[in-house]
């Protein structure tokens, strides 16, 4: 417990110290999120805050590399590529197809380093995956979660809150293992908590694609670790809200004949906000629902 507390606090403090310089850097390089009809915020806001919690997570987790080089390398190598992709998009606004191709390439890198699903077990359906199918499903799962957290990051503190719920649930599930998975999960949770003071309403900095894609990647790799390569109902429940949002978004856009990766104002949080709930209330409601779902997932798992 002392070790985990130290990891959490170190990561927390590192993010607090790094966020202000990253915020200043965003203004210098033009990585500003400008208001428009689709967005909720009203003033230009720096949007590469994800770099801060990636760097703090990276620095704090370095000492765990020797304990499990496979897990550490898959998250750090793929994570660095993900942040680079996100920063490029935050500054230059890449096309949806360029982002999707890059996400698939990053997911392939992570899967090649060991982030692999071997079983699908959804209560009424269970299947052992062949090596080829394991690669394909694992890549799709990672890309799906990267986009899920990217899509849900449309309101102050929402993506960070939902990611924190998922990370805490994974930490509970892995609690009996003093492994690299536990250490990395605790480090990322601490990094996110350090980002909260800057990202809650009214946010002074956004995590941007660099942060949301990185969270999706990490949660995909860590959940596959905590569930021993099994994509199961408890795992889905621990990640339910972002997964539901991306399914609804893609389905809605396809039914309207639109590109499924083109941004719009039809996400769950937009809908709740537009019918009259405040940002804080929407974040609270969605986080509470995520906690309830994750609790059920934890009960089913343990």
Interval 54-76: pLDDT, tens = 999 999 888 766 566 667 778 88
What is the 3-class SS of the chain, one letter each residue?
Answer: CHHHHHHHHHHHHHHHHHHHHHHHHHHHHCCEECCCCCCCCCCCEECCCHHHHHHHHHHHHHHHCCCCHHHHHHHHHHHHHHHHHHHHHHHHCCCHHHHHHHHHHHHHHHHHCCCCCCEEECCCCEEECCHHHHHHHHHHHHHHHHHHHHHHCCCCCHHHHHHHHHHHHHHHHCCCCCCHHHHHHHHHHHHHHHHHHHHCCCCCCCCHHHHHHHHHHHHHHHHHHHCCCEEEHHHHHHCHHHHHHHHHHHHHHHHCCCCCCCCCCCCHHHHHHHCCCCHHHHHHHHHHHHHHHHHHHHHHHC
Percent of the chain with pLDDT over 70: 97
- How far, CA to CA in Å, does 184 sit from each of 56, 114, 264? 11, 16, 34
Number of compact structural domains in the chain? 1
Poorest-pLDDT segment among 32-41, 135-144, 285-294 = 32-41
pLDDT in tens, 15-55: 999 999 999 999 888 889 888 877 888 899 999 999 999 99
pLDDT at 65: 65
* Higher per-residue confidence, 14 vs 182: 14
Poorest-pLDDT segment among 251-255, 262-266, 282-286 = 262-266
Answer yes or no: are the C-beta atoms of 167 and 185 closer than 8 Å.
Answer: yes
pLDDT at 68: 61
Average pLDDT score over the chain: 91
pLDDT at 11: 95
pLDDT at 256: 87
Q: Cα separation of 124 and 119, whole Å?
A: 13
pLDDT at 109: 93
Neighbour-count burial for 35-62, b at 16+ CB within 10 Å, e otherwise: eeeeebbeeebbbbbbbbbbbbbbebbe
Q: What is the mean pLDDT of residues 189-218?
A: 95
Query: What are residue 18's DSSP bridge partners?
Result: none
pLDDT at 20: 94
**pLDDT band at 259; cut points 50, 70, 90:** confident
Q: What is the mean pLDDT of residues 115-129?
A: 90
User: Is the pLDDT assigned to residue 160 strictly greater than 90?
Assistant: yes
- pTM value? 0.94
pLDDT at 209: 94
Answer yes or no: are the C-beta atoms of 188 and 9 closer than 8 Å.
Answer: no
pLDDT at 263: 79
pLDDT at 3: 81
Q: How many CB atoms lie within 10 A of CB 63?
A: 11
Q: Cα separation of 239 and 163, whole Å?
A: 8
User: Is the pLDDT assigned to residue 175 strictly greater than 90?
Assistant: no
Percent of the chain with pLDDT over 90: 69
> 60: which 2 tokens?
């704090």
User: Is the pLDDT assigned to residue 286 strictly greater than 70?
Assistant: yes
pLDDT at 69: 66
Q: What is the mean pLDDT of residues 274-296?
A: 96
Which domain range does residue 89 map to? Answer: 2-301
Query: What are residue 32's DSSP bridge partners?
Result: 46
Q: Cα separation of 128 and 211, whole Å?
A: 33
Answer yes or no: are the C-beta atoms of 280 and 201 closer than 8 Å.
Answer: yes
- Please report, in angstroms and rounded to a whole number, the separation of the first and last CA atoms in the chain: 20
Distance of CA 52 to the CA centre of its chain: 14
User: Is the pLDDT assigned to residue 114 strictly greater than 90?
Assistant: no
């Amino acid at each position: 417990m002392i070790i985990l507390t130290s990891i959490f606090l170190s990561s927390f403090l590192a993010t607090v110290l790094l966020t202000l310089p990253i915020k200043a850097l965003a203004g210098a390089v033009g990585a500003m999120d400008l208001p428009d009809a689709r967005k909720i915020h009203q003033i230009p806001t720096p949007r590469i805050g994800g770099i801060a919690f990636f760097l703090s997570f990276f620095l704090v987790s370095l000492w765990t590399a020797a304990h499990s080089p496979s897990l550490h390398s898959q998250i750090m190598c793929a994570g660095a590529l993900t942040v680079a992709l996100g920063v490029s998009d935050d500054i230059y606004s890449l096309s949806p197809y360029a982002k999707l191709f890059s996400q698939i390439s990053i997911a392939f890198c992570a899967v090649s380093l060991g982030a692999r699903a071997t079983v699908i077990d959804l209560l009424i359906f269970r299947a052992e995956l062949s090596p080829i199918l394991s690669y394909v499903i694992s890549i799709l799962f990672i890309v799906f979660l990267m986009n899920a957290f990217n899509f849900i990051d449309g309101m102050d503190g929402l993506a960070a809150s939902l990611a924190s719920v998922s990370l805490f649930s994974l930490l509970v599930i892995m609690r009996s293992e003093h492994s690299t998975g536990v250490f990395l999960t605790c480090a990322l949770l601490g990094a996110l908590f350090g980002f909260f003071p800057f990202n809650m309403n009214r946010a002074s900095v956004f995590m941007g694609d660099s942060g949301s894609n990185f969270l999706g990647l990490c949660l995909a790799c860590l959940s596959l670790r905590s569930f021993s390569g099994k994509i199961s109902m408890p795992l889905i429940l621990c990640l339910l809200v972002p997964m539901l949002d991306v399914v609804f978004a893609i389905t809605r856009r396809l039914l309207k004949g639109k590109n499924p990766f083109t941004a719009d104002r039809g996400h769950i949080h937009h809908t709740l906000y537009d019918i009259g709930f405040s940002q804080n209330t929407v974040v609270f409601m969605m986080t509470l629902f995520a906690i309830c779902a994750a609790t059920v997932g934890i009960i089913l798992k343990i």
